[in-house]
Amino acid sequence: MDYFKKLIDLLKIEKDEDLNAYRRLTESSSVTDRRMNGLAWYPIAIRGTEMSRGDYLSVELERTTHQDLSHQFRFGASVALFSNHDPGKDRIEGTVTHVSGNKIKITLRSDELPDWSRDGKLGIDLLFDNNSYDEMQAALKEAAQRAENPKQGDLVSVLTGSSKPGFSDKKLHYSIPQLNAVQQLAVEKIIAANDLAIVHGPPGTGKTTTLVQAIKALIKQNHQQILVVAPSNTAVDLLSEKLAEEGLNVLRIGNPARVSAKMLSLTLDSKIADHEHMKEVRALKKQAAEYKNMAHKYKRTFGRAEQEQRKALFNEAHKIMKEVGNTEQYMIDQVVAKAQVITATLVGANHHTIRNLTFHTVVIDEAGQALEPACWIPILKSQKVILAGDHCQLPPTIKSVEAAKKGLSTTLLEKCVAIYPESVVLLEEQYRMHHKIMGYPSRLFYNNQLKAASSVAGKTLFTDDIPLNFIDTAGCAFDEKLEGTSVSNPEEAAFLLKHLTAYLLELVNHCPIDQFPSIGIISPYQQQIRCLKDLLQSSPELDPYKEYITINTIDSFQGQERDIIYISLTRSNAERTIGFLADIRRMNVAMTRAKQKLVVVGDSVTLARLPFYSDFIAYAEQEGVYNSAWEFMHD
C-alpha cells in the first residue's frame, strides 16, 4: 500500500541522517570527545555481576569520574563495554537494562566477562540505535500487509482513511464529579468509540486528568487490560503515577525517568522482587554461580579429565539457569497478567515481556509529539486507539530536513484530526492562564474556543498587576550575534534581567519570600540561554530569588508551567531574518507556560515580517500592554 511504502521510505531517510550524525560524532573521536557528547562513560568500575536469563550475564557498572556530564544512555539502548588498552579489539556488546544516577546495568551477550575486563581502563560506548528503527520498520511492514487484506472494521483501514470510525449506539454515562462537562463528554466519546477517539488537549485543559478517568471507565466497562504509551519516558511516568494513585494495578515496562520510590514500585523488577518464588530463584542463581566459579578453576591447559570436569560443571550451571529462566518467565507472566494497565514508551510496547500480547484498547498520549512509524508499534496490538495530545504544540523531533519536508513531521494525530472531526473532542476550559495571556493563542491556534476557568481568569500576583506585556526593543541597537549555529543577544538578555529585577523588587512588597512565585525565563536559542544563565550568576541583586528562577529552552519547558514567564525572542537584524522563530507552534508552547504574568521581549521591526508576531504586537497594543524598551532604559 502506498501509504506505508511512503512512510517506510521516509523512515529510511531519517535513519540514514541519524546514522551519519552518529558517525560524525564517533568515528574519529577520542573517548574524551564521546564522553563530552554523552555517548560514553569512561572510566568505569565493575560493581557486580549476576547470571541472567539464557546464557547472558548482567553486569552493574559505575562511572567513577565526570559524574556531572549529561549522557544519552537509556533503557533498551545498545552499548559496548570496552578496554581502552585496545578499544578496537577488546569490546563486547550488550543492552542497557537499568540506568540510575551514575550506575548502569547492562546485559552482555556472553555467559562470562572477558579476561581483559580485569585489567582496568574500562568504559562503555553508546552504539547507534538500530533497535528502534528495526521495530518501527517491522511495524510499518506488518501494517502494510494488514492494509492489503483488510478485515471488517479494521483499525488499519480506519487510520489510513479507507473506512470511517464507528461509535456504539449504547449510551453509557459515567458521572465523574471531578470533570467538567467537556471532559465528561471526552470520556463518553472514548467509551463509545469502536476504533478511534481523539482528545485534543490545549495547554492547561486537564488532558491527563481526563485520560486517567477515561482509562478507569474503560477498565470498569470491559474488564480488559489497557496499553498506555507515550513518546517520552517523562510522559509515561506522569500517567503511570496518576493511574496508580487512582488505585489501578499499573505495570511500568522499561526504566522510568523519575527514579522515585513510587515510580520504581510500578516496574517489573520491583514487582518480581516481591514475588513468592524470588527466594528460590536467588538460591538457584547462587548455586549456578558457584558451579561456574569451580569450572573457572580448571584452566584450559589442564589434562583431559580436568577438561571433562570443567565441562560437566558448566553444563550443571546451564541446567540450573534454564530452570531459573523458566521460573522467572512464570513470575513475569503472572505479574503481567495481573496488571490492569501496562505503560511503556512507543518502542517499549514491543519489549520482550509484552511482545506477544494483544489489547482491546491502546492509549497514545502526547500524540502530537509522536513519530507516526513509532505509533504503529502499539497500534498493531489493539482493536481501538485513543489519541491524546495537541498538534498545535511542539511536533516530533526529526533529524532529517528532507524527511520532515516530505511528510514525516506530520503526525498521525494531525492526519486523523483533519479527516475525522467526528472523533475529536476539544477540551476548551483551561485552568492555567489569566484570560489575557490565553487570548492570543486561543485566537490563533484554537479558533477562539478556549475559555479561562473562573479560578484563573482574572487572577494576578497582586492588585493592579499587568498579566501580559510586550516590550519592544526596536531602535535600541540590541543586535544579535551569531555563535556557531546558535544566536545570542547579550543586550536584550541584560535588559530582560534588569526588567525582571525591577518587577521582583515591586513584587516582594506583596508576596513574602517563602511564598514567592515560580519564574521561568525562556528563549528559543541555546546560546541566549547560556548568556542569560551567565548574567544571572553575576547579578547579586537577584540572589534572593535565584532558587525560584529556571532558565531554559522552549522545548525543555513543554508540559511545565510557571507563575511568571519571560520570553527573550533574541532575533534583531537588518535583514529581518527570524530563523526558527518562524515555527509558531514552538511560540504557542512558550506563551502558554505562564499562569499569571507573561512578558515577551523582542524587536518588532525584525519580528513583524511574520504575521504571527505582527498580529501579537497588535493584540498587545489593543490590550494596552505594549511598551517600548526606551521607557525603561533610564530608570
The residues that bridge with 386 in the sheet, in sequence order, are 197, 363
pLDDT for res 25: 85
Does 152 reside within a domain? yes
> The pTM is what?
0.91
Residue ending a domain, choose from 110, 128, 146 = 128
Give yes or no for residue 1 having a pLDDT over 90.
no
Q: Which residues contact 635 (CB under 8 A, 6 or more apart)?
A: 502
First to last CA, the chain: 66
Same domain, 464 and 486: yes
Give yes or no for residue 300 having a pLDDT over 60.
no
Q: Which residues contact 160 (CB under 8 A, 6 or more apart)?
A: 1, 3, 147
- Least confidently predicted of 110-119, 129-138, 530-539: 110-119
Residues 273, 93: Cα–Cα separation, whole Å: 27
Residues 374, 346: Cα–Cα separation, whole Å: 6
Q: And the C-alpha cell for 205?
A: 485543559
Does 524 reside within a domain? yes
In contact, 155 and 384? CB cutoff 8 Å: yes
Residues 616, 565: Cα–Cα separation, whole Å: 16
pLDDT for res 301: 56
Residues 431, 417: Cα–Cα separation, whole Å: 24
Same domain, 113 and 205: no
Q: Which strand (E) or helix (H) includes residue 522?
A: strand 519-523
Does 19 reside within a domain? no
Environment class of residue 28 by beta-carbon count within 10 Å: exposed (0-12), middle (13-18) or buried (19+)? exposed
Q: Which residues contact 585 (CB under 8 A, 6 or more apart)?
A: 392, 393, 394, 395
Same domain, 84 and 139: no
Q: What's the full length of the chain, in residues?
A: 635
pLDDT for res 257: 78
For the chain, percent of residues with pLDDT exceeding 70: 98
Average pLDDT rounded to a whole number, residues 9-20: 96
Does 564 reside within a domain? yes
Residue 436 to residues 28, 216, 313, 471, 560: CA-CA distances in angstroms? 53, 35, 75, 16, 19
Residues 396, 120: Cα–Cα separation, whole Å: 41
Does 597 reside within a domain? yes
Residues 453, 470: Cα–Cα separation, whole Å: 24
Strands 359-364, 226-230: pairing is parallel
Give yes or no for residue 171 having a pLDDT over 80.
no
Give yes or no for residue 634 having a pLDDT over 70.
no
pLDDT for res 299: 60
| Parent domain of 78 | 38-128
Does 4 reside within a domain? no
Q: Which residues contact 604 (CB under 8 A, 6 or more apart)?
A: 472, 474, 613, 614, 617
| 43 upstream amide cis, omega within 30 of 0 | yes
- Least confidently predicted of 148-152, 344-348, 400-404: 148-152
Binning the chain into helix, strand and coil, the percentages to the nearest 5 are 45, 20, 35
Same domain, 285 and 412: no
Give yes or no for residue 635 having a pLDDT over 60.
no
**Across all residues in the chain, what is the average pLDDT?**
91
Report which of residues 26 and 603 the model is more confident about: 603
Report which of residues 42 and 559 the model is more confident about: 42
pLDDT for res 518: 97
> Per-residue pLDDT tens for 436-465?
999 999 999 999 999 999 999 999 999 999
For the chain, percent of residues with pLDDT exceeding 90: 71
Same domain, 380 and 450: no
Q: And the C-alpha cell for 380?
A: 498493531
Residues 159, 420: Cα–Cα separation, whole Å: 10
Task: Outline where DSSP puts E strands in 76-231.
Answer: 78-83, 91-100, 103-108, 122-126, 196-200, 226-230
Same domain, 495 and 590: yes
> Per-residue pLDDT tens for 34-48?
999 899 999 999 998
Structural domain count, the chain? 4
Same domain, 498 and 596: yes
Same domain, 596 and 469: yes
> Per-residue pLDDT tens for 277-297?
888 888 888 888 787 778 777
Does 261 reside within a domain? no
Same domain, 436 and 569: yes
Same domain, 51 and 181: no
Neighbours of 522 (CB within 10 A): 27
Neighbours of 588 (CB within 10 A): 22
- Residue 239: CATH number of its domain: 3.40.50.300
Residue ending a domain, choose from 128, 162, 193 = 128
- Three-state SS string over 355-392 comes to CCCCEEEEEECCHHHCCHHHHHHHHCCEEEEEEEECCC
Same domain, 362 and 415: yes
Residue with cell 575486563: 117
- Quick check: helix, strand or coil at residue 2? helix
Residues 123, 117: Cα–Cα separation, whole Å: 10
Same domain, 220 and 102: no
Average pLDDT rounded to a whole number, residues 610-624: 96
Residue 355, amino acid: R
Give yes or no for residue 107 having a pLDDT over 70.
yes
Residues 187, 175: Cα–Cα separation, whole Å: 10
Kindly give the interhelix angle for 584-591 and 435-445, rounded to the nearest 10 degrees.
160
Residues 209, 246: Cα–Cα separation, whole Å: 11
Average pLDDT rounded to a whole number, residues 19-24: 92
Q: Which sign does the torsion angle of CA 394, 396, 400, 403 carry?
A: negative
Q: And the C-alpha cell for 501?
A: 529585577
pLDDT for res 298: 66
- Residue 90: CATH number of its domain: 2.40.30.270
Residue ending a domain, choose from 373, 406, 427 = 427
> Per-residue pLDDT tens for 209-254?
999 999 999 999 888 999 999 999 889 999 999 999 999 999 999 8
Largest interatomic CA distance in the chain: 94
Does 321 reside within a domain? yes
Residue 68 to residues 36, 61, 108, 552: CA-CA distances in angstroms? 11, 16, 26, 18
